């Protein structure tokens, strides 16, 4: 599964981590060659958030997609 996301401010990042932490599968945020754990607030803040980033998972999860719909960009 791959979703392209935009995290705009610290409040959105906090909400994003709260959502992803509810899921057991490994979730990664990827921008170019930089990869961080999608459940790590410090890891996310270390990324360049001025551009969209990709959420990547080996598991296809419709519930997760629905929970993150507010962050998804086309």
Range list of H helices, the chain: 10-20, 41-45, 62-67
**Rounded-to-10 torsion of CA 20, 23, 26, 30:** -20
**pLDDT tens track, the chain, 74 positions:** 999 999 999 999 999 999 999 999 999 999 989 999 999 999 999 999 999 999 999 999 999 999 999 999 97
Please give the Cα distance from 64 to 68 (Å, whole number).
Answer: 6
pLDDT of residue 17: 97
């Amino acid at each position: 599964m791959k979703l392209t996301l935009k995290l705009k401010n610290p409040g959105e990042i906090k909400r994003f981590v709260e959502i992803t932490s509810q899921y057991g599968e490994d979730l990664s945020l990827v921008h170019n060659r930089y990869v961080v754990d999608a459940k790590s607030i410090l890891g996310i803040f270390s990324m360049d958030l001025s551009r969209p980033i990709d959420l990547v998972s080996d598991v296809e999860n419709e519930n997760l997609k629905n929970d993150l719909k507010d962050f998804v960009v086309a």
